């Protein structure tokens, strides 16, 4: 019987902590594009993180149902960062929302930046939070650089340090050097002519004609040149278990801007999970069972509160 009051007190305390996190579903627009998002925060007038997605039709939680990607890493990040009195907003990428499909035909990488700017402008005008921090993950690292106007701080998570053609060639070559050389030839043709008429049959999924203008526009954007333009505090993070982006990329971005701080997180992979066993690395893309890196949350929390 003596334990019962303690149990009641514990449960009451836990419910109070839980109730402190407020969540709002918000719909924003960039012209015809619909941006469906979730805002969560413990209180107003605190720093706000706006998340900018990586490649693919990623939803606000970090999942791609059609590709069976169920890592849930953005949702895990949200829940963890909110406990540090940092607000968080993420939205379904324009390609993850079926209502946007009629307007996606000519989408290029700078269009993702315009989506992010629409979100920034909304929160800038609302004056609800004390400062705005952009986090760009993977492809979003570059997109966030392009969108980094009227913000206070910028964070690159697993961002490439070179143009997309070089990144793709490196990734393909790691598994198949011969195919990597073929990819280099295809990208060289695309750079010279703006299109590829004869597509290598083993690379048809990469260089299909509807994708060529997208790749071409992306190739013109150099992360090193874009990060040089930023005149705000910068944090560059990479994990040493990242299968897609090398530590060298993070070092290259860091070297390009003297305002940046570089942190390499032990055992963190591309979807920001803490990986203790190598066989779990790829598995973590398809399951929410793997925890997000605690060091990541600590590092970002300290950078924002500094």
Condensed to tens digits (0 to 9), the pLDDT of residues 39-81 reads 999 999 999 999 999 999 999 999 998 888 899 999 999 999 9
Which two tokens mark 141? 């690292």
Q: Are residues 57 and 181 in the same domain?
A: no
Q: Among positive and negative, which fits the CA dihedral 59, 152, 256, 237?
A: negative
Q: Are residues 215 and 229 in the same domain?
A: no
Q: Are residues 301 and 177 in the same domain?
A: no
**1 belongs to a structural domain:** no
**12 belongs to a structural domain:** no
Enclosing domain of residue 93: 17-163+221-305
Neighbours of 18 (CB within 10 A): 8
Q: Are residues 115 and 196 in the same domain?
A: no
Task: Please tell me the predicted confidence (pLDDT) of residue 11.
Answer: 46
Give the E-state strand segments of the chain in sequence order: 22-30, 33-41, 47-52, 87-91, 131-137, 153-157, 234-239, 260-265
Which two tokens mark 149? 């106007």
Q: Are residues 79 and 182 in the same domain?
A: no
Task: Please tell me the predicted confidence (pLDDT) of residue 1.
Answer: 43
Q: Are residues 51 and 137 in the same domain?
A: yes
**CA 42, CA 84: separation in Å to the nearest integer?**
9
CB–CB of 153/233 below 8 Å? yes
Task: Please tell me the predicted confidence (pLDDT) of residue 89.
Answer: 98
Alpha carbon separation from 97 to 18, 33, 55 (Å, rounded):
30, 9, 14
* Residues of the chain falling short of pLDDT 70: 1-19
Task: Please tell me the predicted confidence (pLDDT) of residue 14.
Answer: 46
Q: Which of helix, strand or coil describes residue 57?
A: coil
Task: Please tell me the predicted confidence (pLDDT) of residue 66.
Answer: 83
Q: Are residues 128 and 250 in the same domain?
A: yes
Task: Please tell me the predicted confidence (pLDDT) of residue 196.
Answer: 95
């Amino acid at each position: 019987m003596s334990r019962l009051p303690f149990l009641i007190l514990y449960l009451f305390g836990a419910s109070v902590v839980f109730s402190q996190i407020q969540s709002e579903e918000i719909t924003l627009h960039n012209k015809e594009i619909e941006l469906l998002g979730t805002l969560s925060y413990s209180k107003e007038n605190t720093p706000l993180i706006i998340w900018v997605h990586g490649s693919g039709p990623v939803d606000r939680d970090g999942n791609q149902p059609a590709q069976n990607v169920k890592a849930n890493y953005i949702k895990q990040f949200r829940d963890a960062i909110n406990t540090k009195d940092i607000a968080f907003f993420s939205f379904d990428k324009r390609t993850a929302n079926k209502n946007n499909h009629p307007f996606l035909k000519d989408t290029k990488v700078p269009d993702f930046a315009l989506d992010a700017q629409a979100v920034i402008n909304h929160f800038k005008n609302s004056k609800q939070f004390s400062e705005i921090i952009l986090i760009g993950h993977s492809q979003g690292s570059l997109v966030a650089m392009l969108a980094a106007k009227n913000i206070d701080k910028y964070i690159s998570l697993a961002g490439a340090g070179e143009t997309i053609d070089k990144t793709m060639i490196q990734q393909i070559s790691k598994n198949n050097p011969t195919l990597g050389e073929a990819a280099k030839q295809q990208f060289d043709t695309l750079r010279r002519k703006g299109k590829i008429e004869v597509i290598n049959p083993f690379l048809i999924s990469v260089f299909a004609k509807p994708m060529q203008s997208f790749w071409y526009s992306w190739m013109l954007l150099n992360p090193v040149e874009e990060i040089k333009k930023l005149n705000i505090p910068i944090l560059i993070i990479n994990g040493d278990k990242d299968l897609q982006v090398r530590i060298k990329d993070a070092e290259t971005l860091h070297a390009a801007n003297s305002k940046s701080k570089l942190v390499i997180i032990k055992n963190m992979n591309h979807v920001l999970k803490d990986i203790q066993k190598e066989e779990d690395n790829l598995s973590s893309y398809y399951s929410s069972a793997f925890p997000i890196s605690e060091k990541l949350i600590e590092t970002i929390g300290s950078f924002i509160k500094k």
